[in-house]
Structure 1
Amino acid sequence: MEVSSSVRGTFVHLVKDVFPSLTTEDPLYNVIALASILMVALVIYIIARLVVRPQIASWVYKTNNLWDNALQEHGFFRRLMHLFPALFIFLITPILIDSESVFHGLLIKSAQLYMFYSGLLALFALLSTIEDVYNASALSKRAPITGFIQVLKLGFAILTILFSISLIVDKSPLLLVSGLTAIAAVLLLIFRDTILGFVAGIQIAANRMFNTGDWIAMPKYEVDGEILEIGLTNVKVQNWDKTISTLPTYSLTTEAVKNWRGMQESGGRRIKRAVHINIHSIKLCDSKMLDRFSKVRYISEYIENKTNELRAFHRDYSIDESDLLNSRRLTNIGTFRAYLEAYLRKHALVNQSLTLMVRQLPPTELGLPLEIYCFSARKDWVEYEHIQADIFDHVMAMLSVFDLEAYQRDGHLTQLSHCFPVSESQPAKQADAADKPTE
């Protein structure tokens, strides 16, 4: 009280030095007081902006901490500077201006509103800093907090608006809140996506369903790419063609979504592709073929073991090996399948600890599908495609070694044309026949 009286007395004395006949009840006094308060507040803001804030920035960049750098980047200190002039106006106005003056209430409420919204923006910067620091930590790989940060921002914004309205109308905030129950249905419609997104965010975080950086695919929305951000109401996904898709957050919990995180965290990426073999090229192996196959490094031991096994079988059952009806013989397709499996077992870029097999699928009108099922040790898309292409380059090139052919429609038609050649004399004979008169 003594400080307030001293400040007021000093100000009144300075005013009377300029205007000797002026009293505190005179309207001109309030105008002078208002102008003086605003001018000093402006000076305080300029000093805070040009002197205090650069000094804080220099201190921040001298430290090795990341959190204070994030505060500076999000403008936390810049927004705090607005609180100083508003706080000065709020404190000095009751001292210099009488409460009966219209300027008193106007300045007090304006200063309070200014502090509310400056504090809200500073709080937003603080929350954004917390989000950045969290995203830079290892915990961000387990659960995103972007949605929760947005919920907090929305909640603080709603509270600020409620306090602002209650300040302007001079009513209790509880009275305003109680009045909102009458329009609760309208608010539910307005904030429908927000509520659904908030619930979905809790499910996503609790169950670790998705996270930023996950590769997801949603055919319904033509989405296939990495999650950039999981927000309160929207999820941003960058597709592999570099386009950005924006989805409702709740769609991640209500729609069918394929998450490739399991593949990325596993030991390999699956290769599952078939080569269609022309059924007409499948045959039994004769001795010449077996001699040729035995020189192939990967299956030389396989050929020897199979030959000894078949020889023992024929001996035990007294079967002549030349008896095609009762003897057992190797086939080129079976030998080729054994070769491919041995080739994959020796491949340095195929994960040997995961499932690896070469299998036959049911024959179709396109031939006999011979499928390779294994896992690439490299999961990066480009490297994965190179490994897969190299494997099938080798598969296609080795078909002829085992007297096999890949099926394709035009090649099959060409083979039929070789089976039924058309002689050069046939067109001439057909022409002569056309010239003969009919009886």
Structure 2
Amino acid sequence: MDKTDIINIASQQTSALYNWTFNAIQNVGLSDRVAHITTSVSLLIIAFALLYIINIIIAAIFNSVLTKIIKKTKTNWDDFLLSNKVLNKLSQLILVIIAQQMIPFIFMGFPNFTAGLQKFLNILVILSVYAFINSLLKTGRDILRTSKAFVDKPLDSYLQVVQIFLFFVIGTLIVSILTGNSPWSFLVSLGAASAILMLVFKDTILGFVASIQVSANDSVRVGDWIAMPKYGADGDVVQINLNNVKIQNFDKTITTIPTYTLLSDSFTNYRGMQESGGRRIKRSINIKISTIRYLSEAEISELKKIELLAPFIAKREEEIKTYNERTGVDESVLVNGRRMTNIGLFRAYINAYAKNNPDIHKGLTFMVRQLAPNEHGLPLELYMFTNGTQWAFFENTMSDLFDHLFAAIKYFHLEVFELPASDDLRLLLSQGALRAGEKAPN
């Protein structure tokens, strides 16, 4: 006995029940119309009571038995069945299917009303099936997110594509039920309107293509730090959907950008920096050029007291002495031969200090270099990486480094270039007035 036979037997029994109730009410002496109405109302009340009892039984099975079993298991995937309400959707689907089979026979005395009611119940079954399948898809998405292979993939985009396809199928079936035509005739009519559909779903199509290419090229993942100044986005990618990408900026605001802009516009992805384990410091100290000079022997001896610099000075003194003796230069003129400069020793000190700093990465590019001099002096640039990528750690490490260097620069008889401040101008004016007063006749 298959499902069709069971439905036929149930239909015959329901029809027999309707006829028996109708005959019993008609024997009371009521008219045929009143007897049909009374029969339908009586059977409808019985049907609702029966559905209520079935709902209690299903809820008891799902909530009391299956839910407790799922909560006791050690696996996590079945917990997503509860969070996405799969059991609730399944119980609703069962009740709707039972109602679909029962209720039309209750109104056998009203064939016109029964036809419309049958269409309504068929549509309700289709929507219940969609809700159940949608819950299963969300459960599958959540299960895949627990896997390392899919944790950074745009699963929401793929889910939305499947949802759109299901919605299109369900819409086709509903239109077919309402019109009474074959679903294929509806699809043929849609083919003529494909240009309009392409225009309506332009962003969806572009987003779908972009999601696939972004995933295939591995250009952006969920959790990446990206920056798109054009859209005011600078933060972590929290979600990649079919139509948009959500970025949480560092001030905790959310910026939403269209998904296809990840292909059409340029952006910066800091994933490589984060995976390298170091974050770049690229900042200069502008040295006042007029303070750069050769150092005397007494000044060099004083700088030898700096422990980090002493080995470098000793080695460089030996190299300079050997070179000058070999070339026989006239050392009475400082510009002849080789000499130590305060800027050179300061640069060597920065190298030694940074290399002895545990917060500076030793395996990445490390330089202390001079840039081209300009109207703000001689830029002495530190180009190196911190030994960590967290923002707070990076800023603290860089600040500590430059705090020390700004305090240490005076030991090398150098000055940091600054534009004249108001105090400087007032000092010059007061000194000029003082000189003028001294030169004035009595």
**TM above 0.5:** yes
- Following TM superposition, by how much is the alpha carbon of 1:103 offset from its aligned partner in structure 2, in angstroms? 3.9
Aligned equivalent of 1:102:
112
Does 2:272 correspond to 1:262? Answer: yes
Residue 207 of structure 2, aligned match among 179, 194, 197: 197
- For 1:70 and 1:249, the matched residues in 2 are separated by 28
Pairwise mapping of residues 185-224 of structure 1 onto structure 2 (< 5 A)?
Answer: 185-224=195-234
Aligned equivalent of 2:50:
40
- For 1:411 and 1:399, the matched residues in 2 are separated by 20
The change in CA–CA distance for 1:175 and 1:295 in structure 2 (over 3 A counts) is same
Worse-superposed segment, 151-160 or 59-68: 59-68
Does 2:188 correspond to 1:182? Answer: no
Residue 56 of structure 1, aligned match among 66, 78, 90: 66
Aligned equivalent of 2:134:
124
- For 2:109 and 2:385, the matched residues in 1 are separated by 80
CA contact (8 A) 2:22 2:36 kept: no
Worse-superposed segment, 264-273 or 411-420: 411-420
Worse-superposed segment, 291-300 or 198-207: 291-300
Worse-superposed segment, 292-301 or 15-24: 15-24
Q: TM-score, normalised by structure 1?
A: 0.90
Aligned equivalent of 2:262:
252
One-letter amino acid of the counterpart of residue 16, structure 2: G
- For 2:172 and 2:96, the matched residues in 1 are separated by 20
1:155-197 deviation per Cα after TM superposition (whole angstroms, max 9, x unaligned): 1111111101101111111111110122222211111110100
One-letter amino acid of the counterpart of residue 111, structure 2: S
Worse-superposed segment, 42-51 or 110-119: 42-51
Aligned equivalent of 2:94:
84
- For 1:296 and 1:350, the matched residues in 2 are separated by 21
- Following TM superposition, by how much is the alpha carbon of 1:356 offset from its aligned partner in structure 2, in angstroms? 0.4
Aligned equivalent of 1:27:
36
SS in 2 for 1:274: strand
- For 1:99 and 1:306, the matched residues in 2 are separated by 112
- For 2:426 and 2:210, the matched residues in 1 are separated by 61
The change in CA–CA distance for 1:365 and 1:419 in structure 2 (over 3 A counts) is farther
One-letter amino acid of the counterpart of residue 36, structure 2: P
Residue 379 of structure 1, aligned match among 385, 389, 397: 389
Task: State percent identity of aligned pairs.
Answer: 32
One-letter amino acid of the counterpart of residue 277, structure 1: I
Does 2:9 correspond to 1:3? Answer: yes
CA contact (8 A) 2:93 2:132 kept: no
One-letter amino acid of the counterpart of residue 80, structure 1: L
SS in 2 for 1:382: helix
The change in CA–CA distance for 1:74 and 1:141 in structure 2 (over 3 A counts) is closer
CA contact (8 A) 1:44 1:84 kept: no
Aligned equivalent of 2:173:
163
CA contact (8 A) 2:152 2:223 kept: no
The change in CA–CA distance for 1:415 and 1:394 in structure 2 (over 3 A counts) is farther
Structure 2 unaligned regions, length at least 5: none
Matched residue count: 432
- Following TM superposition, by how much is the alpha carbon of 1:60 offset from its aligned partner in structure 2, in angstroms? 2.1
Q: TM-score, normalised by structure 2?
A: 0.89
